[in-house]
Amino acid sequence: MSFILQDKEDTIVALATPQGVGAIAVIRLSGPKAISIANEVFKGKNLELQPSHTVHFGTIKDGDRIIDEVLASLFKAPKSFTKEDVVEISTHGSSYIVNQVIKLLIRKGARPAKPGEFTQRAFLNGQFDLAQAEAVADLINADSEASHQAALNQMRGGFSGEITSLRERLIHFASMIELELDFTEEDVEFASREDLRELVEKLLRVVEQLISSFDLGNVIKNGVPTVIAGKPNAGKSTLLNALLNEEKAIVSEIAGTTRDFIEDEINIGGMIFRFIDTAGLRETTDTIEAMGVSRTQEKMKTASLILYLFDLGDTDMVEISRDINKLENLGVPFLKVANKMDKSNHLLINSLKEKHPDTIFISAGQKKNLDLLKDKILELVNLDKFKTGNTVVTNIRHYDALTQTRESLLDVLRGIDEEITNDFLAMDIRRALHFLGEITGEITTDDLLANIFSKFCIGK
């Protein structure tokens, strides 16, 4: 058995801000020697003499060599994220500097933190429960306002509350069933099947709601998968760049470890849009009709939003109508975006306005009407529903548990239809409770019995 107990005495160090470009980088030290190790390399005030929750300016020196000018923030146990002594050193955002500082700290006795170890320590030291710990991980990865809010909401326990009330109702349901099983000889009225069905249906609606919020949650966390579709010369790259520059957002080109395609993430109005670059579309010279590559088709289907982009100077009405028809068949919401509005003939524009009045006319190159396009994009994904503060499921483990809860509840309904006896119904209810328990806590049979005894006159 691998105990991590001895590890707990270590002081760990790691970069706390994302790897890569950034104006500043934060290096975090946590553990019993965090302050003394930091103090050894920090030239300025004596950190060991400073109170908690203070920030100090100074330099990091390796011997005589100055590595960087930094700010050191002190958080003393237990008033820190990990409930241990923590020092956060803010350096300039260069990976060279960061590496130099971390190496130095390791030389002075810190140990590189394992992935998730700060959160693990926080969890072990009682900072939060498991569901909250998971939310922290999400919070750290939160790239957008909506995602941040969902994670915050979960940390505050909104999600747990919802699940708890669901469980309470299920327990009540289960005890109605158990009553009939264990106390068959008793002179009490048992729940009617119709009442049971009604209750299960109600619960199912709640579970369904939470499950469907996962797709939403997923979007919030990972961004709205978006595809710009169109012929190669329609101006896709120009549009992408225009949107990027406009927002001055950090563009990350993530070569996903599990993905074999490139994505650009753009923050539009507080919402992340993940532009999926479908290889097929960028390379082939074909029209949408010819996007025969099934992979591209798949990508387009999984997108939540497609921007259908066409060049007004290089497209005719027939082609446009045909493409639009194809897209409609795909069933993914899409926007018709006419590019190079300055280079077009009025005839085409007029006929477009007549046949497709919702066409958005832009000029990506001249950055015209981009705001309009963004408004339309936000309108289409209906940002409002992301911001209502509703409980949103963002965690895949929770999602799995909820899906299995739903399956069990559906089994209950099926059982009621097939008129199977209560002992089998009870089993499916217990399964549902078990899966909900995987999110918050286990249900004990004592709960069921206590519920029964408090409500019914039982016993000879």
Contact positions vs another protein (CB under 8 A):
1-5, 83, 120, 123-127, 129-130, 178, 181-187, 418-424, 426-427, 430-431, 434, 437, 440-442, 444-446, 448-449, 453, 457-460
In angstroms, give the least distance from the CB of 271 to another protein: 33
- Measured distance CA(433)–CA(174) in Å, rounded: 9
- What phi, psi does 31 have (nearest 5°)? 140, 175
- Measured distance CA(412)–CA(363) in Å, rounded: 57
- Measured distance CA(385)–CA(389) in Å, rounded: 9
Return the number of the residue (328 or 417) whose C-beta is nearest another protein: 417
Return the number of the residue (270 or 437) whose C-beta is nearest another protein: 437
- What phi, psi does 227 have (nearest 5°)? -125, 135
In angstroms, give the least distance from the CB of 186 to another protein: 7
Residues contacting residue 72 through CB under 8 Å, at least 6 positions apart: 38, 42, 44, 47, 55, 56, 58, 87, 88, 89, 90
Return the number of the residue (253 or 418) whose C-beta is nearest another protein: 418
CA distances from 346 to 170, 341, 359 (A): 64, 10, 14
Distance between first and last Cα of the chain: 51
In angstroms, give the least distance from the CB of 421 to another protein: 4
Return the number of the residue (124 or 396) whose C-beta is nearest another protein: 124
Return the number of the residue (96 or 424) whose C-beta is nearest another protein: 424
Return the number of the residue (165 or 321) whose C-beta is nearest another protein: 165
In angstroms, give the least distance from the CB of 127 to another protein: 8
Cβ atoms of 99 and 32 within 8 Å: the answer is: no
In angstroms, give the least distance from the CB of 418 to another protein: 7
What is the CB neighbour count within 10 angstroms for residue 189? Answer: 9
In angstroms, give the least distance from the CB of 174 to another protein: 8
Structure tokens at 202: 């109600």
